[in-house]
Amino acid sequence: MRRFFDPDRYRIFLFDQRGCGRSTPHSELRENTTWDLVADIEALRKHAGVSNWLVFGGSWGSTLALAYAVTHTSKVLGLVLRGIFLVSKAEIDWFYQSGASRLFPDAFDQYLAPIPEAERGDLLQAFHRRLTGDDPKARIEAARAWSQWEGHTLSIKGPMTTPPRFNEDDFVDAFARIECHYFVNGGFFETDNWLLTQAKAKLGKVPGVIVHGRYDVVTPLSTAWELTKAWPAAHLHVVPDAGHSSMEPGIIDRLVQATDDFADKLGSRFRV
């Protein structure tokens, strides 16, 4: 994430959310909800002595950034978001049940492999049972299948391969378990599309930049389009030759441009 910011103009804060990366306990689901994470972000801001800040996030990070922004709006100078994802049922069904499967049927068959035919009517629940069950072999097989499905669909560039970390057991265990935990619980939001409604009601004039790949299969462009209509102060930049990955050249260029533009507009208010 640091690569998208000029360190001479920004004081940059990065954190590993509960159960991920260097956070402990690893892959823990207890006391791990969207609202726990929002509280963690606010605690980090207070601990750092920052009065307000620019909030940045991509994919699930865009969800979390928006949840924070609609809860602590006065602390947000602006938002830079990529690959918008609002944890709606339609988005979950598209990627994890039926939709993206039509574009990547070969990768989808690998995703389906750990799940018996009789359980494939609700793949989210079928994976959740295995990822939270007592059988360690079934758990890691499900975690690999879940994670590699996303890894295969991240980019439109080159052959269908997954980033190296999507083959590491520790990474895929936390990645799959925590994602599935959040998705089964609807992101811990009160209603479907809760974030879209809240963005319309609360973000008002909060400036935002949304960067989204035209051919994003993981989080389709339609969600970013709807968010932009609900949030007039946000500017949507559609990258014509990109998918979901933050590492595609057009995505990188737009994100760096966005953070540079915010630094130009807000100047010394970024520095503490």
One domain, residues 262 and 227: yes
Query: Can you give the pLDDT at residue 81?
Result: 99
The pTM of the full predicted model, rounded to 2 decimals, is: 0.94
One domain, residues 202 and 237: yes
One domain, residues 107 and 175: yes
Active site residue 59: yes
Distance, in Å, from the CA atom of 111 to the CA atom of 134, rounded to the nearest integer, reads 21
Cβ–Cβ < 8 Å for 67, 231: no
**Which of 146, 161, 187 is the endpoint of a domain?**
187
* Omega within 30 of 0 (cis) for the link into 25: yes
Q: Report, as an integer, the average pLDDT of 193-199.
A: 97
Distance, in Å, from the CA atom of 233 to the CA atom of 53, rounded to the nearest integer, reads 17
The residue range of the domain holding 114 is 94-187
One domain, residues 105 and 237: no
Looking at the predicted structure, is the pLDDT value of residue 270 above 70? no
One domain, residues 33 and 71: yes
Query: Can you give the pLDDT at residue 266?
Result: 87
One domain, residues 199 and 82: yes
One domain, residues 178 and 223: no
Q: Report, as an integer, the average pLDDT of 44-68.
A: 98
Band of residue 178 on the pLDDT scale cut at 50, 70, 90: very high
Q: How many CB atoms lie within 10 A of CB 266?
A: 16
Band of residue 272 on the pLDDT scale cut at 50, 70, 90: very low
Catalytic residue among 128, 152, 212, 244: 244
Residue 109's H or E segment, with its range, is helix 105-112
One domain, residues 98 and 79: no
Active site residue 216: yes
Mean pLDDT of all residues belonging to the chain: 95
Q: How many CB atoms lie within 10 A of CB 247?
A: 12
Catalytic residue among 59, 62, 101, 245: 59
Active site residue 237: no
Catalytic residue among 128, 152, 216, 245: 216
Percent of the chain with pLDDT over 70: 96
**Which of 187, 208, 231 is the endpoint of a domain?**
187
